[in-house]
Amino acid sequence: TREERAFERLDRINHAPDRLHTWQYQPFLTHYVNVHRLLSIAAASGLRLVDIPAGNLDELGSIRALPYDDYHELMAFTVEVLKYWQPKVLNLENANNLTKDFIGCTFEFFQTDFRSKNIKFWNKYREKPEMHGIYKKDPHLYLQVEDVKLYLPLNLAWMTTDTSYHNFGVETGIADSLSGLCILKSISKEREAVFTPIIIGVYNIFQQIEDASKRGERTLEIKHSW
């Protein structure tokens, strides 16, 4: 039955070489934030959102185009969601055993060295970055883990600062020591796995959460709209 297959899949995930564990690091500052995905996660986690008109974000070419106060409200929103979400995660660098069972699972990466491709500095804040919808042609990070090649497609609209491009290897194609979260979208017969990045930063902006807050309905006092 469908239920039996679901329990079998869950059992395989729980007995993976890299056991599921609770993500214990909270970004204080970030280089990349997938705002739309965070809004979905917040709603699914029981967080009650206040004055966050998600549709208006599509009209911006970049997070960096936000007015000063709105930008910092968005960063505060990001911290709040991640603080109370506390996802169960697997380690991206142990992804050599990936199968379709893991599609939809959340993975963490910590001080991971990626390569980057097709990342160009985008300074047209009011225009959307050009996207092809093909992950190998769009900006992305990639990493080889044994026989599996991992891809993290990027939307340059979600870059948080101008200097973030340096950390993503805009000039060198090398993105060193990145930390964050991503969700597995697909894995092909050719062992190419595509992930949706949620948040990306660097090690020295991460701090361990000492007292985990309980899940439940939360009100995020977002005063500004964008």
Domain extent at residue 9: 1-203
Q: Would you say residue 150 has pLDDT above 90? A: yes
Assess if residue 217 is contained within a domain. Answer: no
What average pLDDT does this structure show over 132-160? 88
What average pLDDT does this structure show over 211-220? 43
**Tokens, residue 170:** 């805009």
CATH number (domain holding residue 20): 2.40.50.110
Tell me: the pLDDT tens digits for 15-73?
555 567 887 665 556 889 998 888 888 878 777 655 554 445 666 678 888 878 778 88
Tell me: the pLDDT tens digits for 78-126?
877 887 787 888 888 777 788 888 898 899 888 788 999 998 887 766 6
Assess if residue 219 is contained within a domain. Answer: no
Assess if residue 223 is contained within a domain. Answer: no
Q: How many domains does the chain have?
A: 1
Gap between the Cα atoms of 163 and 170, Å rounded: 10
Assess if residue 15 is contained within a domain. Answer: yes
What average pLDDT does this structure show over 137-148? 90
Gap between the Cα atoms of 128 and 123, Å rounded: 10
**Tokens, residue 58:** 């599509």
Q: Would you say residue 6 has pLDDT above 80? A: no
Assess if residue 77 is contained within a domain. Answer: yes
Q: Would you say residue 211 has pLDDT above 60? A: no
Q: What is the pLDDT of residue 181?
A: 92
Q: Which of residues 96 and 152 earns the better pLDDT score?
A: 152
Q: How many CA atoms lie within 13 A of 199 on its CB side?
A: 27
Percent of the chain at pLDDT exceeding 90:
15
What average pLDDT does this structure show over 118-135? 75
Gap between the Cα atoms of 149 and 167, Å rounded: 21
Gap between the Cα atoms of 197 and 142, Å rounded: 12
For the entire predicted model, the pTM comes to: 0.79
Assess if residue 225 is contained within a domain. Answer: no
For residue 215, what pLDDT band results from cuts at 50, 70 and 90?
A: very low
Assess if residue 188 is contained within a domain. Answer: yes
What average pLDDT does this structure show over 112-141? 81
Assess if residue 218 is contained within a domain. Answer: no
Per the DSSP assignment, residues forming a β-bridge with 47 are: 218
Q: What is the pLDDT of residue 141?
A: 94
Q: Would you say residue 156 has pLDDT above 80? A: yes
For residue 10, what pLDDT band results from cuts at 50, 70 and 90?
A: low
For residue 209, what pLDDT band results from cuts at 50, 70 and 90?
A: very low
